[in-house]
Chains A and B, each alone.
Chain A
Amino acid sequence: MVANSSWRRVLFLSGPGLAFLGLFLLAPILMLFLASFKADGTWTFAAYLEAFGKSYFRTALLRTLRIGLIVTLVTALLGYPTAYLISKASPRRKAFFMSLSLFPLMTTAVVRTFGWFVILGRHGVVNELLMAMGLISRPIQFLYTEGAIVVGLTHLFFPLMLLSLISALENIPPEVEEAAQSLGASPLRAFGRVVFPLSADGLVVGGTLVFTGCITAYTTPAILGGTRVLTLATLLQQRAMTLLDWETATVVAVVLLVVASILNLLLRRLRTREAR
């Protein structure tokens, strides 16, 4: 039971923070949302109809979703074996690999993406290697393609997937897997019948985190996609800052907001289910 006087304390302690977020997050976002339905003083869907009517917008939207799906899939495929090995490693090795996975998260996306910019460039590592091996005679255009963005985002968000998977796998007691084997399941079947189903929630959590991150990421598509291959995020920046087309920019922002919010609500539901 919370007494009346503690209510006042709670309000006094958390009020400033809530007010700050109300003023500088809720209000601007709400205004943005409302502004997207307003033109010349009347309520209308005009801005949306116009934006969805433009092919560059539809292209960017589809591309963003496509890239998000591919990256989610790739991180899951790469992440599973790695997470499985790490979850089985000795505590010392586990700590080492965890810090190795966390290290990239501590550096800015600009630096991490720049590395791929160098690797994938006209005279980058990949092209030089392929030419030296005689597989190609002229450098391949990797930069400013969807493929480059996929590589960069995979690198950017892989740790999120890995950490979700590791925490899911670590929650499975090793005896459970052993019990399956003692009952006649080969290691592969024990994995398929017991370990995988028990870690599926971690996969969904990691996947949601990665997908949401991908569709809202700006830096990586900006460097590796440039102005030629636009995603929703880079389109938003271009419309707002270069072309000063705030109407379209606002529509793009609201679309990003809505998609991210829906995914986040799903994630929240999943996590409360897990907690039970």
Chain B
Amino acid sequence: MSFLETRGLVVGYGRASPVLHGFTLSLDEGELVSLLGPSGCGKTTALRAILGFIRPREGRVLLKGDDITNIPPYKRNFGVVYQSYALFPHLTVAENVAFGLRMRKVRKQEVAERVNRWLGLVGLEDFANRLPAQLSGGQRQRVALARALAVEPALLLLDEPLSNLDAKLRATMRVELRRIQKDLGITAIYVTHDLVEALSMSDRIAVLNEGRIQQIDTPPRLYRNPVNEFVAHFMGYDNSFPGRVARVEGGGVEVMAGGLRLQARMGGEGELRVGDEVRVYFRPERVEISEGGPEAGNVIPGEVRFQSFQGHSLQYVVETPLGEITVVCSEGEATVNARSVNIRIDQNDLIAFRKE
């Protein structure tokens, strides 16, 4: 039995068409699952439905097998950290953290002890009597986390908790958040639109688009095997070109595109057949660029249109028979200076999807 389960949640506002269509997800105890997608994909709506702030039109939410769909939010014992932190501006840091405990009628003595412990855990013992307005963004974030965790919630929900922080702090907090979550063994749902965040923190990721889950999997598998064009695009497969299947061979296909014959592998669930219109995706950093003559494999001739230095890497924009291709090489690799180049892509790095 899974720890938390949603079954076919349909959520909509008013008479408009639903923003969430049949949202089904299950989490094991202690697992951190990210809901990843562009803004407006329904990920925050899903979170609010799990919290109980929106009643789904259809579907159920189950906690350890118990149906909690009709239980009001304040009886669910779920902790939440918002993007805006939603701290109580009229209460001090300590009072913010104590709020949930007071609601649970915990003894005064114990409230003080637990508040201290949690403030210590997030490194804010010295700020107990400050008001939220007197804290930096990162400190507020920690207060919000301590406040949510202090009630020892059954489930922790995080709605883009890091997106109001600067890049450096974000990287630190990613590690810290994940560490705390693992140490406590708490089950968590993490809503984000940031791919790197989702990849680095999650046990599993659910990619959402237009109110539907596109794919749920572990970060490496999701990264390597996107099931459709949307997920591929979202996972950083920034280059793509159209083509037609010329030959099928095991899990691989030969694609005709721009007058070239290229070896690719099949993406998605449906089998490809000869003659299918496809779109082929690949990542900019999985491309080799060289001045040398043709080698074996998928070789595409092209001309460098533009190149830019990006610190740890070099980026080229190459005009090819397949259109413009972006190539990213690490700084150490051999650089090319000629205009005419050949680029080579491994068969395993080209993924062909049937055109939708």
Contacts and interface: CB of A to CB of B under 8 A. Distances in A.
B12 to A, nearest CB: 14
A180 B88 contact: yes
A45 to B, nearest CB: 45
Contacts of B86: 173, 175-176, 178-179
Interface string B93-104: 000000110011
A182 B79 CA distance: 6
B99 to A, nearest CB: 5
A232 interface: no
B80 A179 contact: yes
Contacts of A186: 72, 74
Contact of A175 (B73, B75, B84, B103): B84
A190 to B, nearest CB: 7
Contacts of A194: 88, 90
Interface in A110-163: none
Given A175-B84, A198-B89, A184 B53 contact: no
B84 A184 contact: no
In the complex, which range does the number of interface residues on chain B fall in? 20 to 34
Interface in B237-267: none
B188 to A, nearest CB: 14
B154 to A, nearest CB: 12
Nearest to A184: B103
A216 interface: no
Contact of B80 (A173, A178, A193, A197): A178
A183 interface: yes
Contacts of B51: 178, 182
A185 B74 contact: yes
Interface string B65-86: 0000000111111111010101
A189 to B, nearest CB: 7
B90 A184 contact: no
B17 to A, nearest CB: 17
Given A178-B53, A190-B74, A183 B84 contact: no
B140 interface: no
B151 interface: yes
Given A175-B82, A175-B84, A197-B90, A183 B103 contact: yes
B322 to A, nearest CB: 47
A107 to B, nearest CB: 34
A181 interface: yes
Contact of B103 (A173, A178, A185, A187): A185
A173 B164 CA distance: 16
B43 interface: no
B147 interface: yes
Given A175-B82, A175-B84, A182 B73 contact: yes
A175 B73 CA distance: 13
Contact of A184 (B88, B89, B104): B104
Given A183-B100, A189-B103, A176 B88 contact: yes
Contacts of A180: 88, 99
Contacts of A187: 72, 74
A185 B79 CA distance: 12
Contacts of A185: 74, 99, 103
A185 B100 CA distance: 7
A225 to B, nearest CB: 41
Contact of B74 (A173, A175, A184, A198): A184
Nearest to A198: B90
B14 to A, nearest CB: 8
Contacts of B76: 182
B84 A173 contact: yes
B88 A181 contact: no
Interface in A182-222: 182-187, 189-190, 193-194, 197-198
Interface of A: 173, 175-176, 178-187, 189-190, 193-194, 197-198
